[in-house]
Amino acid sequence: VLLSRLRLFLSPGYPYEEILRTFHNQTSIIMCSYLPVFTSFNRTKGGLIQLNHGRPQPLQYVVNAAFLATLYSDYLDAADTPGWYCGPNFYSTDKLREFARTQIDYILGKNPRKMSYIVGFGNHYPKHVHHRGASIPKTKVKYNCKGGWKWRDTSKPNPNILVGAMVAGPDRHDGFHDVRSNYNYTEPTLAGNAGLVAALVALSGDKSIPIDKNTLFSAVPPMFPTPPP
């Protein structure tokens, strides 16, 4: 996606153009695969895309895809490009933002279980998060790694609410088990939560606030010396 940005905004020309076109085309194909009209990835009955093909901990992949889709949409808009082609069909950039919004909405609670997978958001969210700091009571007693297991295996809700943390997510049937010992459902990860923050930031605001066309790639050196004036 970043290389597509370089091609769209700076047009470095030969010899970069050929390789950048290749990456740009690959990115376009990936963006096509996110759309519901294609069958590259299955979706749950509730609408969550299965980017890891039904394996556990799906949300970390979903939020990063939502971020990239929104970012790519912004890049196309900033380059005055209304959309892109998937085969013979043309799709507007709004389709990418729509994909991102539906996935984030699912995570925030618009799903068959009416459950928010963000701890502390809404009234129905995971209470047994697989997280050492959230599950061990603050009693000024120090525990070693093995000493924390008794807190991991208790059925009591976390004594400390890990506000804002996104857990690993539901299974491919939209099912979720709020069990601390089953990290495939209840573990928050840096990879997932970084993607969540990025997606939420990308989806905030509206088109009246344009993307920042900064000089991120201005240091790309020319292949040949600049000719004299």
Which of 8-12, 29-33, 77-81, 120-124 bottoms out in mean pLDDT, i.e. has the lowest? Answer: 8-12
Amino acid 37 reads V
From the list 173, 63, 59, the residue with the least C-alpha distance to 126 is 59
Catalytic residue among 24, 130, 131, 171: 130
Instruction: Extract the tokens encoding 188.
Output: 């928050």
Rounded (5°) CA angle 149-154-155: 150
Q: Which domains does the chain have, with CATH numbers?
A: 1-204 (1.50.10.10)
pLDDT at residue 103 tops 90: yes
Amino acid 85 reads Y
Instruction: Extract the tokens encoding 71.
Output: 């970012």
Instruction: Give the tens place of pLDDT for each residue, 30-82.
Output: 999 999 999 999 999 999 999 999 999 999 999 999 999 999 999 999 888 99
Which of 55-59, 141-145, 180-184, 188-192 bottoms out in mean pLDDT, i.e. has the lowest? Answer: 141-145
Which of 6-20, 71-85, 95-109, 164-178 bottoms out in mean pLDDT, i.e. has the lowest? Answer: 6-20
Q: What is the mean pLDDT of the chain?
A: 91
pLDDT at residue 122 tops 70: yes
Active site residue 171: no
Active site residue 24: no
Instruction: Extract the tokens encoding 88.
Output: 């013979």
Select the more confidently predicted residue: 217 or 44.
44
Q: How far apart are the first and last CA of the chain?
A: 35
From the list 182, 177, 135, 178, the residue with the least C-alpha distance to 154 is 135
Task: Please classify residue 108 by burial: count the beta carbons closer than 10 Å to its beta carbon, then call 0-12 exposed, 13-18 middle and 19+ buried.
Answer: middle
Check: CB of residue 118 under 8 Å from CB of residue 200. no
Check: CB of residue 199 under 8 Å from CB of residue 104. yes
Residue 223's pLDDT is what? 62
From the list 194, 202, 215, the residue with the least C-alpha distance to 74 is 202
Helix (H) or strand (E) holding 86: strand 83-86
Active site residue 130: yes
Catalytic residue among 74, 77, 171, 187: 187
